Chains A and B, each alone.
Chain A
Amino acid sequence: MDDLEQQLRRAFQPEEPPADLTERILERTRSRRVAPRWMAAAASVLIAVSAGYGYRWHQGQTAKRELLMAFRITSTKLNHIQMQVVR
């Protein structure tokens, strides 16, 4: 039991951090920031381009749908008038 107590005391004994700990942490953070910055920028550009392309595609599909509908109505009505002429 004493032995266990001693082991626990040793384990929980406060220890002074190394003197260069702060500098090492800051250095790691700095070196890690370089990659995320350009990656974030690239991702932003990619998202913006994709969104722009997607929006343009959606607009194009809407315009095409409206164009086809306009032609369908026109064709139907011209045909209807023709049938009236023939009658």
Chain B
Amino acid sequence: MKIHSLVLIAATCALAAPPQQFKLNLDSIASKASNAVDLSLTGPTLKFAAKFLDASDPDEAGIKKLIDGLDGIYVKHFEFKRKNMWTQADLEPIRNQLRGPDWQRIVGVSSEDGETGEIYLRVQDGKNTGVAILEAEEDEVTVINIVGTINLDQLAELGGHFDIPKLKMPKDKTGK
């Protein structure tokens, strides 16, 4: 009976655990946004959606191949009617989580007009197990978490879809 209870508690904890690799806590700016996109695609949802992708469409066929090793994609994207309705401090709670030992920042850029872009890799046992992307413009903020085994070549391949030029990424420490 006790074992059953423990199994039940463990299962409940597993269900309650957030599927993302970090909390996408952007409530402070969500209320100010005029347009918001919040996508939470868990592993089963990705697999289910993959069944409906058209193999004859090059974009969709490419995506089908890409999501094979993924356990989730989480996107939060906010657009604002006016500029400067958010501050970099709003993104600090997310950056703080990405300063943990598992995360490596591989790209970090900022421009004079306040635009910033950051790409982080989660490396566990020498393997890339996730990607975090933070991109912020004067009137837009986007945070993305791709969960699963994805190497930089695959990440670069994302840029080859939807008529967007292909991205050439630097090699990471694991040589992938």
Q: What's the count of A-B pairs with C-beta under 8 Å?
A: 100
A7 within 8 A of B: no
Beyond A63-B41, A78-B133, whether A71 also contacts B115 by CB under 8 A is no
B135 within 8 A of A: yes
Does A84 lie within 8 Å of B117, measured CB to CB?
Answer: yes
Mark A46-87 against chain B: 1 for CB-CB distance below 8 A, else 0. Answer: 000000000000011101101111111111111111101101
Q: Is the interface of A mostly helix, strand, loop or mixed?
A: helix
Q: Which residues of A contact B164 (CB under 8 A)?
A: 75-76, 79
Does B73 lie within 8 Å of A67, measured CB to CB?
Answer: yes
Q: How many residues of A contact B (CB 8 A)?
A: 25
Mark B91-129 against chain A: 1 for CB-CB distance below 8 A, else 0. Answer: 000000000000000010111000101110000000000
Which residue of the partner chain, among B50, B73, B142, contacts A77 with CB atoms under 8 Å?
A: B142
Does A70 lie within 8 Å of B45, measured CB to CB?
Answer: no
Q: Which residues of B contact A68 (CB under 8 A)?
A: 60, 63
Does A60 lie within 8 Å of B167, measured CB to CB?
Answer: no
Q: Which residues of A contact B50 (CB under 8 A)?
A: 67
Please report the C-alpha to C-alpha distance between residue A81 and residue B167 in the assembled complex, in whole angstroms: 10
Which residue of the partner chain, among B73, B111, B159, contacts A70 with CB atoms under 8 Å?
A: B73
Please report the C-alpha to C-alpha distance between residue A64 and residue B51 in the assembled complex, in whole angstroms: 9
Nearest chain B residue, comparing its CB with the CB of A56: B48
Q: Which residues of B contact A78 (CB under 8 A)?
A: 119, 133, 155, 158-159, 167
B→A interface (CB under 8 Å): 37, 39, 41, 45-46, 48-53, 60, 63, 66-67, 73, 75, 77, 107, 109-111, 115, 117-119, 133, 135, 142, 144, 146, 155, 158-159, 161-162, 164-165, 167-168
